[in-house]
Amino acid sequence: MTSIVIIGSGPAGCYLADQLLRVIPDASIDILEKLPVPFGLIRYGVAPDHQGTKAVARVLDRVLARERVSFFGNVEVGRDVRLDELMSLYDAVVLATGAPRDRRLGVAGEDLPGVVGSGAFVNWYNSHPSAHTPAMNNVQSAVIIGNGNVAIDVARILAKGPEELAGSDVSSEFAAWLTAQPLEEIHIVGRRGAADARFTDHELAELGTLQRARPVVSDPASLTGDTAVVNILRGFVEGPARDTPITINFHFHLTPTAFVGEGKLREVQFHSARGETVTLPAQLAVTCIGYETVACGTAQSANGVFANQDGKVGERLYVVGWAKRGPSGTIPTNRVEAQQLAQKIAQEIADGNRSGGQGLRERLEQRRVRFVDYARWRRIDAAELSRASPGRCREKFSSTEAMLNAALAGQLKPA
Ligand code: NAP
């Protein structure tokens, strides 16, 4: 039996497992995940009010449920098992660890309280166990840096009132914080023009449908070009005037140069294309400028990804998803990429008579690692669904320990 281990249970890892089962009929696939729960970006990246997108988790869940796939949650490479051990236990090892670290702008004041990377901010409103509450209050004006879909997600979540977040699984702590903010202005700032923005049409247009916020363009003359994005922005300018408590202001051709404040953020400074300094008041700034991968055990990343040749890092070691190509594309991009990598792995590896999942399980048990298998994950899932209050689809556990308690209740003594 050919044994393959995939490190990471986000869409890249799960789609790859699915494809490997198709092209390697005798494959046995283990998926390791450092959190007790699967699905990575789907659970902690996709916005909580986009439950339609999060529903892809059901497809991924069916992959984990397959007979020849085993899930090992709460197993961290480098902490619970070494990468070289995995290389000796399995015929192939695949890094599907995503890009969990925020890229930094590298400008003055970036560490001021009130300045947050989008990964940290999105993790917070998605109840990620390692998220901590950013220190800011009394937010009247929020500045969002970047012109991609993450910037749109962050703006939309900030702009929505409690009724608009009904039916979501937004973090209760975040929702309470948001309700307490006297928010009036959200600024989305791009360093290039509207025609260069990376928003997708659907996501941008959705900002025009919000109840307590309306999108405006600070300088309509800056809307040059004829792209779908530019036309949607023109529609915002030309549409009927609406009076809402919050405005979402689009600014273009402004390059961030500094975050300014005494002990906490007060304003963000930009350099305009005309050579002027422009400042926007802000008590919160979220930098939505992309992500980079981090080391996985002894595998080191460079320039935000693991260096690879079409998904191959080295002999029997592969990489897929954002860890391979950087943070780009949509969720279905991973399916296409998984097909290609699965073919490559099928051509390059053979059954090496390695002990695979059995060997891993023995080591984890010897080390008293409280790993979460598929049945235990289902228990966490059921507990989260059942504890949701009316108006919410799920109440996630926001700590690893709470997840493990739900998974292992009455089963194992703590290590
Ligand atoms: P993105 O689409 O790559 O956008 C990043 C933005 O940051 C760009 O506007 C970029 O400007 C800007 N930026 C980068 N470095 C900068 C700097 N030093 N100063 C100022 N601006 C800077 O990335 P993302 O928004 O993080 O999204 C990641 C991926 O997830 C994308 O593929 C996105 O489509 C996807 N996503 C999809 C959805 C959805 O479909 N609903 C939701 C969220 C995310 P330049 O263009 O000038 O480099």
Instruction: State which of 107, 147, 229, 259 you would mutate to test the pocket of ligand 1, scoring each by most atoms of that ligand within 8 A of its C-beta.
Output: 147
Give the dihedral of Cα atoms 199, 202, 204, 205; nearest 10 deg.
160
275 CB-contact burial (10 Å; exposed 0-12 / middle 13-18 / buried 19+) = exposed
Give me the count of residues in the chain: 415
Residue 36 makes CB contacts below 8 A (sequence gap 6+) with 73, 74, 372, 376, 377, 380, 400, 403, 404, 407
What span, in angstroms and rounded, lies between the C-alpha atoms of 268 and 283? 9
Query: Torsions phi, psi of 34, nearest 5?
Result: -75, -25
- Check pLDDT > 60 for residue 410: no
Strands of the sheet containing 277-281, edge to edge, are: 254-260, 267-272, 277-281
Instruction: For the beta carbon of residue 381, count every other beta carbon within 10 angstroms.
Output: 17
| The pLDDT of residue 45 is above 70 | yes
DSSP strand pairing (115-117 vs 312-314): unpaired
With bands split at pLDDT 50, 70 and 90, how would you rate the model's confidence at 68? very high
Cβ of 150 less than 6 Å from ligand 1: yes
pTM confidence score: 0.96
Looking at every residue in the chain, the average pLDDT score rounds to: 96
Indicate if the pLDDT at residue 411 is higher than 90: no
**Pocket flag, ligand 1, residue 332 (CB < 6 Å):** no
In short, whether 100's Cβ falls inside 6 Å of ligand 1 is no
**Residue from 101, 198, 324, 336 to probe ligand 1 pocket by mutation (most atoms less than 8 Å from CB):** 198
Q: What six digits make up the tokens of 7?
A: 């490190």
Cα–Cα distance between 269 and 256 in angstroms, integer?
6
* Three-state secondary structure string covering 234-286: HHHHHCCCCCCCEEEEEECCEEEEEEECCCCCCEEEEEECCCCEEEEECCEEE
Res 413 pLDDT > 70:
no
Hunting for tokens 């309700």 — which residue is that?
Answer: 179
Kindly report, residue by residue over 155-172, the tens digit of the pLDDT. 999 999 999 999 999 999
Q: Is any ligand 1 atom within 6 A of the Cβ of residue 189? A: no
Rounded Cα distance, 133 and 120, in Å: 9
Contact call for residues 136 and 113 (beta carbons, < 8 A): yes
Written as six digits, the tokens of 392 are: 């919410």
Edge-first strand listing for the sheet containing 284-287: 115-117, 284-287, 141-145, 185-189, 246-251, 213-217
